Structure 1
Amino acid sequence: MGTRQELLSGPEVRKLEKLFQHGAGVPDQGWRIPLDHVFPRRGMKPNAKPRFKQLKDLYGVFYRYFFWWIKKKTANPSWRPFIDNLNPVKLQQIYGVPLGGLGCGSICRGWKGDFCRWALLPGIYSYDIKMANQFTVCVRRRGQTTYQQVLSTRHPSCLTEWNWSYSPSHAYYHALYPRAWTVYELPGQNITLTCRQVSPVLPHDYKDSSIPAAVFVWTAENHGKEEVDISLMFTFQNSIGAETDLSGGHWNEPFSVNEEGVDPISGILLHHQHKTMPCTIALGIPHKEGIRVTGSTSFNPAGSGKEIWRDLMYDGELGSPEAPTNKTVKGEALAGAVCASFKLPSGGKQDTEFVLAWDMPLIKFVGSCRTYKRWYTRWFGEDGTAAPKLAAYTVSHYPEWERTIEEWQRPILDNQSYPEWYRSALFNELYFMSDGGTIWLVAEDNDGHVENNLPPWLREKTPAHIMEYGRFGYMEGHEYRMYNTYDVHHYASFALAMLWPQLEFSIQYDYALTILEEDRSWQPELWHGGWMHRKTINSVPHDLGDPYDEPFVHVNAYVMHDTSDWRDLNLKFVLQVFRDYFVGRDKDFLAFMWPRAQSVMTKALTWDTDQDGMIDNSGAADQTYDAWIVTGASAYCGGLWLAALRCMVEIANILGKEEQEQHYLAVMQRAKTAYEQKLWNGEYYNYDCSGRSYSNSIMAGAGSGHWYIRACGLVPEDNEVMDSDREVLPLDHVTSSLRKVYDFNVMQFHQGTMGAVNGMRPNGKKDVTSMQSEEVWTGITYALAASMIQEGMVDEGFQTAYGVYNMCYLQCGFAFQTPEAYLERDFFRSLGYMRPLAIWAMQWALEGRHRARVTSS
């Protein structure tokens, strides 16, 4: 199952075996790809058209969405919908490890070396490749330049004086987030260059992990018999990947930092004058013995590039300007450069660092009049002058960061019981923590001083936890622009719970504040038509808002459904509250959440239409599968209900609420009887009890409730005994169901190489009654694999998850943009999605956290 070599054909392996031996310090584990690689599946397209039989459930919402889109766009041409189904993002098979920490904006550097995806503005993506953003090498022998090459495989129409002829067959890329390596052989030069990219993404670190910077450590190795002079030049356009890139008013200037406590560094500052969020970008090189640092504040990235190219070629250095440039006029492009030059003896090796740091300390959301401070400003200030300090701090601290990263990753990477592909995917899927439109904000202490137009949940005193650790948000996806989408975060949150638990708690506090409050302003409801209140009392919001509006203030950007009656959101809140208590063992946290948990469970009980203790679905798509109709008692929502009841029993016990404990225990007893009677068919739990043609479909994600409570220690192990009235599902039924899903949804679907299809019929054919029933959801597959591992089906779990890795990293080029879903046909949906972070639930299971029993106190 799945090694790195599966990415390549036999001839490619043989051709590159020698190349793969080169490169300074490149680890064995990770995602490795030659720069001339072509993915087998190149025709993947966004958003499949529904089958004819699926249209009856979708025609109305398609019609209403289209006219809603037209009306809003006509009124405001700059408006963007929270999901733009009419303009989906097309697949580009180019992305690599993003740069920067958490919540500070990100820049993605692709596996071919391009700076190709920008998210410096909060929650807004640009896919503009700036051709000037490159590294160039100059080799000189006996005082003459013998080789000068842009280290890129592109052939642009601009910068025509530059040498763009590098052969991609001489280089490879290796990704292991938050680091990446690119190894270049220089043909005919006997020189190898290794670029190591490092970003400050550090588990359990709540300072450095927020820093907007990355360092490129270049290692040059001379395999020849004579000494050479090497120069490395880093060029960068004054841009942030936004509509302001050519708006004028930008300028560059040199900088130098020589302060106690940090390494001396100099370079170029690129001042970018965005209309509401100015940004300064620093390109810097630390001063080290034997390395000459030079730079240029100005060249035209839209021209031929002749001046700077010839300047480097002349003597392997750039000029060292002392004055700022003039401000640009509208339509004018501006770029700067830094250069490190050094001698490299025969057999020698030399390291030099380049740092890229950006300072956009204050942000405004598109629909907001408020200004927010990014989290890193607590240490680096908010006046917009921190870029030099950030650059100096980065070059001084990155060795410590790398030691922390290696100590964190090494036990997993060295564990030979984990498949090689899994060790790679586990860390690389974490890219979304920095590149998920992520924001990490300093919270304001309301404490009675609030604006009247704030919603009720923001008029209360800000919880101390949010004040201490900040307000954190990441989007549902690059295309699904909603912060902290709760039904999806339910799966992804294992990554935060394991690595940055205080940020997970912050998200929980933010949601908890909204539950007992309401916002009675009106929004359209596109699934059925009509209008709905933005937020109803005793309900968990679907999301905390759209960056094109004002998140945290205006929640529920999602207007496809009225999610106040979604069956899963309230239940997932209870499950995550208990899971987070399981992580932190904080009874104060649990006590704060208790009245909110009671309120959402009280509302959920109103969905029990026949008074048997089991909640019923409404006959609509009223849960995370928002286009898959479900009616009556259902395996998915019913299982979540049982699991939430079990958590309420345990929470009540921990908090000494004996009366409530007995209440929830009694409801659970009735509910599990109904669940078994209505849904168990002797092999697995039916999709629902409606009696429709697909009622007995096999659902990949049906067992999510049991998965969660097993993860939280609420299911006994084989050698443990628990009171029978506290057992939720018979374990033999759980195992039988998982084996049925594995045999049908995994192994009978594309020979087990695509993950778990959401729905399968008992006859071994896909359930095609819904667009979503025939999709593979990447995050659901990872969660299913985690559940299998927790039940002892370890090999089956890895085989299940391998299908996602195979499709995303080997076949389709989805790396660092893992979609929500794909079909057996050549279609995908929603690139760059949150839910695949559920792979960390697999690691949770593998580390045996589910075996740590909760002890009541």
Structure 2
Amino acid sequence: MNLMKVFDWQERYAGRNIPYTDHELFDFDFPKTLTGKYLNEIAFPLGGIGTGCISVSGSGQLIDWEIFNRPNKGYRPDYTFFMLFAQSENEEPNFRVLEGRLQPPYQGYSHGAQMFKGFGFGPPREFGSGFLRMSECSFTGYFPFCRLDFADESLPIKVSTEAWSPFIPLNDEDSSLPVAIFDITLTNITEKKVKTTVALGLQNILGFPEFGKSESYWIDEGSHRGIVMTTHRHDQDSPRFGTMALLTPNDDITYQLNFAETHWFRATESLMDEFGTTGEFTGPKESVISPEGQAYVAHLGIKAELAPGESVTKTFVLAWLMPNFEKYWGERHVWKTYQGTKWESAKSVAEYVLENMPRLEGQTRKFADTFFSSTLPTYVLDAISSQMSILRTPTVTRLTDGILYGWEGCHVNHGCCEGTCTHVWSYAQTIAYLFPKLERDMREMDFAVNLRESDGHMQFRTELPPGTKAGHGFHAAADGQMGNVLRVYREWQLSGDDEWLKKMWTSVKKALEYAWVDWDKDKDGLLEGIHHNTLDIEYHGPETVCGSMYLSALRAGEEMARYLGDNESADEYRKVFESGKRLSDEMLFNGEYYYQRVPDGAEIPYQYGQGCIIDQVLGQWHARMYGLGDIYDPDHVKSAIASVFRYNFRDNFYNHHNPHRVYAINDDKGLLICTWPKGGRPKRSVTYAFECMIGFEYQVGAHLIYEGFLREGLSVCKAIRDRHDGYKRNPYNEFECGSHYARSMSNYSYLLALSGFRYSAPEKTIYFNPVICKDDFQCFFSVEGAWGIIKQRKTNYGKVITIKVVGGGMEINKLVSGDITVDNNDMIMVGSDTLEIPIIC
């Protein structure tokens, strides 16, 4: 690609060196295939929205079985791995575990109390660690799919495994299926016939961690067959109750429901001596129930005979259903999960998937193809798509009525910071665009249970069990509460649902005007009152982190009020906004960036004072995405966001002391939460100041692009993805306070900033103004009711913008591209799903 045509747009520079070359920043070679050491930390989550997940490692292991309605990092069932038998005509049989070769260390696992295994006993034999593996392995991730390619010079076949789960924009039902699908392609690379079997073991871990009295049985329904698992130890209302199913549509199979013998090493020996030499399982075929405390292992193999050069694809569908959620902290409560209300068992889930496989795979692949056709840099596409996987992890669950509920992230075996915390989740953008109904439902629940009717105070964490009213025993979070107001505006803009806005408006007004009860009692637009925020402390005195959120919320409030005919409120919001904008620029801008005015003479811990804080124009970022205009003087905003990059971005951390949490180290690059370039750091300065936190970084990076700092903004994104390169850290687990941290979904704003895309459903207007590849640009889009691709192509007379709807439908009366506005009289329909808009310029 001609780089001059890619990056011919950059309005300004931030005043420090760009840490990457243009060839590194404008890399469009997607997807990337990883090998060698870059496979080490990969764990790709499979599952549905709120269902928990099973992850595929970079070498093909099935790891981190987090299907029990809580995190469960590091857990792997015994003997649950893919195996391969292959035998050429008149040749010796070959047996492999279908994984890449194990990498050091080889001392054994060191966590947990273990006897005769673990540390000092080597890699576990229960994982087939001593068996031969494939000599070549590579991993390619293109969420919602990943592909592992295996080869071994001593084998007559090569193997490719594509693992996926349904993920379809606007279709939260099919995207919430608790299922993992493995399509395994076997290719004969010889000139002889080859007999082969690919198999998967599955331990019946139902009841975890209280094993025993679990049953595995065989079914054959004509169109599909396989192994179904249940438990008789736990009743159907118990949080330990659940079912699993391993089914296939293929008909040439072999199976066993348990090992015939397990004494000493007979289980692993039977895999080597029986399956490994014949490709057949000879263990019990009758239904079996395990003794108390034991979990039996079943195996399903799919057989094939391949002519020279022939390829076949065999499919495994692994489903689970744990229908009862347990509040495992504080006072215990149990309730049905959303999936538990929809599905009778894992068998019914797997059968639904098999019956609808062409549609589910077709729509999921259409989404992936459309998304990755975007002319955005490789690492941007990788960042946005990889963190969509957060929705598959225990960071989220779906409550009985389907409402999405989230933690901030995940501990190893416990959710981290419950309550869909508003001051974290208000950064996240992905769900609002891909699954807008889920976002609207979250807004409704938040205002229904967390708003204090008397004054508008909002609790920023939603309590469980579902329906619990807030206790209001702590500060409201100013950034989170104003974020709620902004997100109602966002949801309305994306949906155009006026009735929904009317229903929400009284509560939204109370939430917005709570600022006048507690934080801005004189209505001058500055937050002088003590206000809690996402750094888990209270700011004392006016500043622009929460202050900019307040001003943006006032603008959103004004727009909503005026639309609904509440002009008195709209006028008042505008008056307070204008005052706050003026005073902030006069009192809180030091010529380079915005700072905090700590009350004179007060020695208050955890303030940032004269510091250059990462989120100082957070509200302006929201305003750019939602079309709310300038919150502060635009030149001041550009100077401020440039200062964050100039002073807070580090090219490495070799000379940086960090007494806080360590999310960047050594040769990593990243943005610090706060620095004091002009001196004056308080002795007990703001929390987390010395850290890099990814969700904040993404927000700043996208905002840099909005303000004209293209390379700087891209550098922030690339620095994050370089830290999560598969060698140092997992590309599918960006962590802040725990794994799969929700704030990382702020990265969807990169797509919005680089494309200039915004849709106002009330106006039926698309705004579109790409800043890279302007002569030949295309980008995925998704809004309420429709998703697809929007393109811009240079012509002799100007440019042509093409909007192709891939799924759903939308109304467009107007398109705004830069300074040019085109109404629907000048739009040309091409077929039933494509609109062409010629623009003369």
Normalised by the length of structure 2, the TM-score is: 0.76
2:167 to 180, 187, 201: 201
Q: 1:771 to 1:800 in 2, by over 3 A?
A: same
1:137 to 69, 84, 89: 84
2:462 to 541, 544, 555: 544
Deviates more, 1:293-302 or 1:482-491: 293-302
Offset at 1:351?
0.7
Q: Is the 8 A contact 1:159 1:302 kept in 2?
A: no
Offset at 1:255?
1.7
Q: How does 1:674-823 map to 2 (within 5 A)?
A: 674-690=583-599, 694-715=608-629, 728-746=631-649, 754-763=669-678, 769-809=685-725, 812-820=728-736
Offset at 1:284?
1.7
Q: Which residue does 2:406 correspond to in 1?
A: 474
The letter of the residue matching 2:432 is: A
Q: Is the 8 A contact 1:179 1:199 kept in 2?
A: yes
Q: Is the 8 A contact 2:139 2:146 kept in 1?
A: yes
**2:750 is equivalent to residue 842 of structure 1:** yes
Offset at 1:576?
0.9
Q: 1:188 to 1:434 in 2, by over 3 A?
A: same
Offset at 1:38?
6.1
Q: Which residue does 2:384 correspond to in 1?
A: 426
Q: Is the 8 A contact 2:257 2:286 kept in 1?
A: no
**2:286 is equivalent to residue 323 of structure 1:** yes
**2:611 is equivalent to residue 649 of structure 1:** no
Q: How does 1:170-569 map to 2 (within 5 A)?
A: 170-239=136-205, 242-244=208-210, 247-258=211-222, 263-269=223-229, 271=231, 273-274=233-234, 275-288=238-251, 291-298=252-259, 304=265, 305=267, 306-319=269-282, 321-330=284-293, 332-366=294-328, 371-377=334-340, 379-381=342-344, 386-416=345-375, 418-443=376-401, 470-479=402-411, 480-492=416-428, 494-517=429-452, 538-545=456-463, 550=465, 552-553=467-468, 563-569=474-480
Distance in 1 between residues matched to 2:227 and 2:184, nearest whole Å: 17
Offset at 1:656?
0.3
The alignment partner of 1:180 has SS state of strand
Offset at 1:672?
1.6
Distance in 2 between residues matched to 1:616 and 1:299, nearest whole Å: 71
Q: How does 1:109-124 map to 2 (within 5 A)?
A: 109-124=56-71
Q: 1:797 to 1:166 in 2, by over 3 A?
A: farther
Q: 1:767 to 1:257 in 2, by over 3 A?
A: farther
The letter of the residue matching 2:163 is: Q
Distance in 2 between residues matched to 1:598 and 1:299, nearest whole Å: 68
2:513 to 591, 602, 607: 602
Offset at 1:631?
2.4
The letter of the residue matching 2:83 is: T
The alignment partner of 1:568 has SS state of helix
The letter of the residue matching 1:422 is: V
**2:533 is equivalent to residue 623 of structure 1:** yes
The letter of the residue matching 2:141 is: A
The alignment partner of 1:564 has SS state of coil
The alignment partner of 1:817 has SS state of coil
Offset at 1:667?
1.4
Offset at 1:409?
2.8
The alignment partner of 2:700 has SS state of helix
Distance in 2 between residues matched to 1:694 and 1:517, nearest whole Å: 30
Distance in 1 between residues matched to 2:245 and 2:92, nearest whole Å: 28
Q: Which residue does 1:32 correspond to in 2?
A: 33
Offset at 1:484?
1.2
Q: 1:107 to 1:163 in 2, by over 3 A?
A: closer
Distance in 2 between residues matched to 1:766 and 1:191, nearest whole Å: 63
Offset at 1:633?
0.7
Q: Is the 8 A contact 1:375 1:440 kept in 2?
A: yes
Offset at 1:187?
2.9
Q: Is the 8 A contact 1:296 1:319 kept in 2?
A: no
Distance in 2 between residues matched to 1:767 and 1:178, nearest whole Å: 46
Distance in 1 between residues matched to 2:377 and 2:681, nearest whole Å: 29
Q: Is the 8 A contact 1:123 1:481 kept in 2?
A: no
Q: Which residue does 2:822 correspond to in 1?
A: none
Offset at 1:659?
1.1
Q: 1:101 to 1:607 in 2, by over 3 A?
A: same
**2:493 is equivalent to residue 582 of structure 1:** yes
Q: 1:816 to 1:162 in 2, by over 3 A?
A: closer
Q: 1:339 to 1:833 in 2, by over 3 A?
A: same
Q: 1:270 to 1:94 in 2, by over 3 A?
A: farther
Q: 1:812 to 1:273 in 2, by over 3 A?
A: farther
Q: Is the 8 A contact 1:101 1:434 kept in 2?
A: yes
Q: Is the 8 A contact 2:214 2:290 kept in 1?
A: yes
The alignment partner of 2:86 has SS state of strand
2:571 to 662, 669, 683: 662
The alignment partner of 1:809 has SS state of coil
The alignment partner of 1:632 has SS state of coil
Q: 1:751-781 CA distances to partner (integer Å, 9 max, x unpaired)? A: 9962321112225999993441111110011
Identity %: 20
Q: Is the 8 A contact 1:277 1:363 kept in 2?
A: no
Distance in 2 between residues matched to 1:161 and 1:265, nearest whole Å: 25
Stretches of structure 2 lacking an aligned partner (at least 5 in a row): 2-27, 107-121, 655-666, 766-841
Distance in 1 between residues matched to 2:487 and 2:496, nearest whole Å: 13
Q: Is the 8 A contact 2:651 2:670 kept in 1?
A: no
The alignment partner of 1:150 has SS state of strand
Q: Is the 8 A contact 1:237 1:335 kept in 2?
A: yes
The letter of the residue matching 1:328 is: P
Offset at 1:219?
0.5
| The structure with more helix, counted as a fraction of residues | 1
Q: Which residue does 1:639 correspond to in 2?
A: 548
The alignment partner of 1:488 has SS state of helix
Q: Is the 8 A contact 1:251 1:271 kept in 2?
A: yes
Q: Is the 8 A contact 1:614 1:633 kept in 2?
A: no
Q: 1:802-830 CA distances to partner (integer Å, 9 max, x unpaired)? A: 1111112256213222111xxxxxxxx52
Q: 1:142 to 1:610 in 2, by over 3 A?
A: closer
Q: Is the 8 A contact 1:616 1:633 kept in 2?
A: yes
Q: 1:294 to 1:565 in 2, by over 3 A?
A: closer
Q: Which residue does 2:809 correspond to in 1?
A: none
Q: 1:88-122 CA distances to partner (integer Å, 9 max, x unpaired)? A: xxxxx634211211122222222233332132222
| The structure with more strand, counted as a fraction of residues | 2
Q: Is the 8 A contact 1:97 1:816 kept in 2?
A: yes
Distance in 1 between residues matched to 2:364 and 2:682, nearest whole Å: 43
Distance in 2 between residues matched to 1:767 and 1:350, nearest whole Å: 66
Q: 1:808 to 1:238 in 2, by over 3 A?
A: same
